[in-house]
Structure formats: C-alpha cells, structure tokens
Structure 1
Amino acid sequence: MNLYFATGLSRKEFAMKNLRLVLRAPVVLVAGVFMAWPAVAVDLSYSGFGTVGYSRSDQPYHYQRFVDNDGTFRRDSVLGLQVDARINDQFSATVQGKVAASLKSDSATDATISWAFLSWRPSNDWLVRAGRLRVPLYLRSESTDVGTTFDFAQLPTEVYSTSPTTDVDGLAVSKTWNSAVGEWTLDGYVGSTNTTFRTYLRDNPAAGLSGRASTPVRVNARGLVLTFQQDDNLFRIGAHDVRVKTTDGQFFPVTYPFVTIAPGIGYYQVSSQMPGPGLSAVGEIHSPTYTLGADVAVGADFRLVGEYVRRNVLGVNTGSNTQGAYLAVLRPVGAWTPYVSVGRLLSKPEVRDLYGKVNTNRVPAFIPGAARINASQRAGADGLSPYDQTTWAAGTSYRLSPSSKLKAEWARTRVGLASGLIDAPPGGESGNQVVNVLSLSYSFVF
C-alpha cells in the first residue's frame, strides 16, 4: 500500500506535508545543538540588540496599526538576543529571538524566534543554511530589527510594509564570486511560514462593530537574489515566487459581481452569504514579486539609497497588487547623519477602480436591509486594502557610540484614494487624508 494513500491524503498533499517536515527539521536540530553544547567543543558567542521607539501623529485614528495622536511605543520598540555556535570551520548554528508587538494582535506583545538555522560552509565561496531564516527581500532585510545598522528612524514604509514577514522555514544557498570590480553574491532560497494578513473594517455587518479582521495564512516562497558590493556601494535585484493560502478554509474572491435590485440601484456581492450570482473564488493567490535596491556614494559624502518592489497578484482583482518605492539622500556630518526621503505606494488601477465603485455604492433607505447592505459595501471595500499614498520625511541619526544611536524623524503622508495602513473610523474614509508623524528612538547593540 502506498503511504500517501494510507494517510488519506492526495499524492500532492502528502508530498507537501513531508516537505514541510523536512524544512522544519533543522530548527529542531539547532535546538539540539544548543542543548548538547556542554558535551562537545562548541564556541558560543552572544549578542543583543534593541530599540526604544516612540511615535506620535496628529490624527485620532491609527496609522501603521499603532500610531495616533496619543503616541505609542509599540510600533518601533523591540528587544532581541542572538546566540551563535561555531562547531568547526564548516558548521555553525544561529538562534535569534525577539520581543516585539504581535503580528496576530494589535494589543499583545509576543516573544518569537526569528532565526534558528544551521550553516554549512564547504568553501569560502559557498554557504548553505537550513532552518528558520530571513529572506533577502530588501536591502536591510537581515537588519530590520537592529536599528544601529541604518540611519532611518523608520525604514520607509512604502517599501518595507509590502511583505507581512520575511522569515521562513526553509533552505538557502549562497554563492560568492570576487571580480576586479567587486564582489557578487547569488542567493537562492525556498521556504514557508504561517503568518496573519490584517485588514481593518470600518463596519463589520456580521458583528456590528468596526475593528481588526485577521486572516491566518500560509506563505510558500522561493526566489533568487543577486547582490553586487563595490567598496561602500551596494546593488541588489531579486525575483520571488510567492503563493499564499488561508489556513482557516476561506477563499479569495476574484472580484465582486454587481447585483441589480432596481434600475440604477444595486449592490456588490462581497460575501457568499449575500444574495447574488455567487463569488468566483480561488484557494490560493499567486504573487510573483520583483525587487530592486541600491545604496551608493554620489560624491561630497552624499549617499543615495533607493528601493523598488513590484508585487503582482495574478488572476484576481481583490489582491494586494502594488508598486512601492522610495528614494533617500543622506550625508554624515560628524556624529550626525541627516537625511530626506520620499516614498510612494500604489495599487494597480483595477484594484483602485473596484475599491472606488464598492466604497461609494449605497442603496436608498427604503430598500429592505439598506443599512446592512451599505455596511457590507464599506466592509468589502476595506477588504481590498488598496494603497495610494506618498510620504515625505526628514530626519537624522546621532551616533552616541559605535553601539548606540539616537534618531528623530518627521514624516508627512498624503493619501489619495485610500490606504490600507490607515484604520479609518466608522463612517469615515482612509482616503484624502494627511498624517504627520514624529518618531524618536534610541537603538543599541551589546
């Protein structure tokens, strides 16, 4: 009897389940290495990092989950510890944990394991890692939590918010070449992770309340990233194949069909529980993603830093299909490094067009259940999570020591049609808003 038949799973489901077990095995092995280290000759080293960050806006609603005119420490504050175990010249293990705001709740703080991987370096130009590791999606992917490694008070949200997580359980292989002009590194990876997709509903017809709506999802990703380092200049280009599937049995609607009640009156069917022709839905979203980044010296001690992310969502008009980019200029002056930046995040026209139609659609009060129907239209529009925003920022870092920095930033975000980063109040709009945010932080390593 075939094993996959005996489990009651299809051949594909059986293969994927066992692949996930294989990819997770190194996490268990890393834990075993640290538990057994007194019995073997392992060279252990410890390091830690943290940021105490405060941010405050001039608006009563939440922006980026936490920021409002009451102020918050939750958006940027983090505390982490990393342990590295060098087994021999070829093998090592790394575990990194952190305490920060939860991805699953807007009111909780979670302690999580960010990294837990085994490394094998068969030669100086090859590196293989297996376990829980970070995808090189952005220029600062590996150091997003370590504020001393960059000068931004907050990494530009128009790019760094486009992925809910960059940590996966999987396998990564790196190959390095040295040339006369610089060093080339090609990274390939495959992995998966469970995370939460967050939306904020102004009106929830089912519960009658506004608030966060969380969808648990499983992300499967693979990709190739090419990095070129020349002295202090860094260039990166990547192609990533991402597939997202809910883990609670929900489906992703392809679009919202319009249901006519009377001439000129109708509603968009945003839920399968509403009367209508039915929602065409898919169980998995395919999202090819492409990234570009550069950090270069342009003369007179000025640096130019920019990144671009194109996230495609194939086959549906209800997905987070976006383009995000930013450009920043920095110049160190003694211990100070002031900077200015501009960022732009925009959903594709089809998503913005559908949002505009659903968000403004209303049925007259004489229609039975009009209030509930109109609330469903706003909730359906919020579920699209469209983006149309631009942020200008000016800030500076001040190097207190090689291991600590103070930072300050003022950012002004102008929203056009809408922004999924704004928790609009009931009956309100996330569009046509201006949000000013002051950010202050102290970052350190030890």
Structure 2
Amino acid sequence: MVLAKVCSYDDVEPIGKNIMLNLISEDSAFSVLKIPSFRRIWIAGGLSALVRWLDMLAIGIFTYQLTEDAGAVAFTFVVRMFPRLLFGLFVGALSDRFNRKYLWVGALLFVTTSYLLLGLAIAFTDIKYWQLLCFVFLLAIGWSIEFPNRKAIIADTVPDQLLGRAIGIEWSTDSLAKIPGPLIAGGLIAFIGAEWAYLIGALIILVATAVASTVVLEPIARNTEDISSLNQVKDGLRYVRFNRLLLGALGVTFVFNLAFPAYNSLLPAIGRDILNADPFQIGILGALEGLGAVLGSLWIAQYAKEIRFSQIYYAGTGWFLICAAAFAFSEIYLLSAACIFLLGFGFAAFATMQTTLLIRVSSPEMRGRVLGALSFCIGLGPLTAVQIGPLVSYIGFQYGLFVVLLEGAILLAATAYFFPTIIQKLTTELIRQHGDSAKTQ
C-alpha cells in the first residue's frame, strides 16, 4: 500500500534543502516556520486550538446554566474524552496505515458540521442535557481523529533536530489560543447567546479545513497490506509496553488528565458560586491561564534543551497540581487569577513536552500508534471525573477538587518511583536503549 508523507521541503520551494539544514543552527525558535508545510499545519492547528478552547469553556458554562449541577458538568467532560478511550489506539493504527492528510481533513470537516448543528439546535430548539451530551460525543469523535494525525504529520514535516522547536511553537500557539478562546466564549454567552459560540466555531474550523487541505504530501511505500489494523494495534501496544520511557511518559499523561478535567469542569462553578464572577469574568480567568501557558511555551521553545525534556515534563505537571490546589482554596478573585496565571506555566511544560517527548523517543514507523496510545491515556484519565459529582455533594467544590489533585500528586510520585527514567536526563543513549528494548520484544 502506498501511504503519504508530508513533504519536508514542500516541493522544494525557494528555501531549498540547504536552507532547511541551516535552520537547525539558527537561534530563533520561530525559524522552523520557514518550512512551508509546517507553516500551513501550524496555521490550521492554531485555528483549531482557538475553537477547542472556546468550546472548552463554553460547554462548561452552558452545561452549568442548563443543569445547575457541577456533577453534570464533570460528566460532560467525561463524555468529551470518552472517544479517545474507545478509538485512540485504532486511530493511531489507521494513522500509520493510511493517508494522514485525508484523515486529518476529514476529521475537521466532521467537526465543522457538528458545531454547526449544535449551534442551530441551541438557537432553535429547547435542547435537553442528553441531547447536548450526544453532540459533545460526536465532536469528541472528530477531535480524537484530528489530534494524533496532526501531531504525526508535524513529526513527518520537520527534521528531528527541529522537532522540539516545532512542537514548542505549535503548543505556544495552542496556549495563545487559550487567551481569546475563553474570552470569546464568555463574552458570547454573557451578551448574545451560547449558540453563537458554536456557529462561529464552525466557521473558524471550516477555514482551518481549507488551510489543511493545501498541505502537500509525497507518497512513500510502506509494507502494510499483510498487516491488519488489529495486529497493528497489538504491535503498538507491545512496543509501548516494553519501552519504559514511554510508559513513564504515558503515566504522567494519565495523572495530568486525571487532574485537568476536574479543575476545568469546576472552574465555572467555583467562579460563579465562590468568586461571584459572571461568565465574562470566568472567561478572563481562562484567558490568564492561556497567557501563562504562552509565556511558558515560548520560553521552552527558545531555551529548553532536549536533555531536559522529560524533567520539564514531569516538573511542569507537579507545578500544575500545586497551583490548581492553591486556586481551589482561594476565595478572592484576584488571588485566584494569579494562581491560574501561574498554573499556565505548568500546563505549558506538560503540553509542550508531552508530544515532543513521545515523538522523539518513538521510531518513525510507530509514531502514529504511540500517539494513539497517548490519545487512549488522555481518554482514560477523565473517567475518574465521575467522582466529582459525589465529592462536590459531600464536601463541596473546593475540597472536592483538592481530593482529586491529591490523588494526582500521589500517582505522580508513584510514576517516578516505578519508571525513574521519566525524571532522568534524556540522553541519546537512553532513547536508543529503550527503543531497542521495545523493538526486540
């Protein structure tokens, strides 16, 4: 079967191969944007990120307005992540087997249609909670396909030496989108209506789809005809199982995705009922998280050395837990805003290093399946959010969030204990050692 690989030089446009090699020695983190194919992926990814963060806050506020139940908001986020758990491993296998561009563009078209239908349903019908959950699930299917394919295409687009910069810039843009995204969501819900958040989201994703469709691909031959998708999934699981560096990284992913949905789902409730904030002020809190994440991502893209990638990843997750715990007990809006701003730096360290680390330590032929395993772990973490409803009922918003964060801290320490490579320096020898160990099994 002939698959497709993103052209590293985009049909050798004017920059040429020699300049491509010169990019490696340039100091600016933004030099990677001179690669035309990556630049197009970056633009489409940035537009998608704007809508994801708009939706992230909008769905929390709208669900809380609809149900007046923080547990219902938490369950909405469980549904939002569930398709990653169901389909993550298979999407990763498909990414390694078929044309990643077609999968990516198709997912974006599906998301566009779903947002449009959700916006119309809110505008013209008396939408029920169960109907909202159906739309959330459909959207999550689209995003679960979009995520691993876009990340794998980035890895195919840039040389390994520039991968840290590329992921850093991509996540800096994602973090930057966390500033206008929540502000737009809060403003639209407060002054116009929730339906406009989704109608505008559909339009933005449509533009992202158009940009993604212009990415140039070159065919490459891979011997996949005799390997079923199920066997590819099994091969991917076996590869991850015997690579302890990957297992440690995925363990940290599970911890973060245990804590983040709890924090994110309780933000609207704590904002309204504890801090007495309106939807727009809650949007400001989300934007401050984005500002901290932007600054953190830019610093990482410019200064982080590969040898420190795993340590930054682990420490950033710990910092996120600490700042989220401080936010949980704050009852002053400005103090809460400061906690969330600082929390953004931890988010940046986790998010930037997560993809970079997994791609860097995986062999090229396994990247799609490893990212599928990542998607699976992201979907597995929020299942624990079902505890939010009972916790909030018995001990309140603040202590309920703190209990989940404490669980995360214990699991984070356990990850370092059982997989100590995650807190060691990421040397070339360490990568080779664990990669060879996985391949020989």
Per the normalisation by structure 1, the TM-score is: 0.26
Larger RCO (CA under 8 A, 6+ residues apart): 2
- Greater share of helix: 2
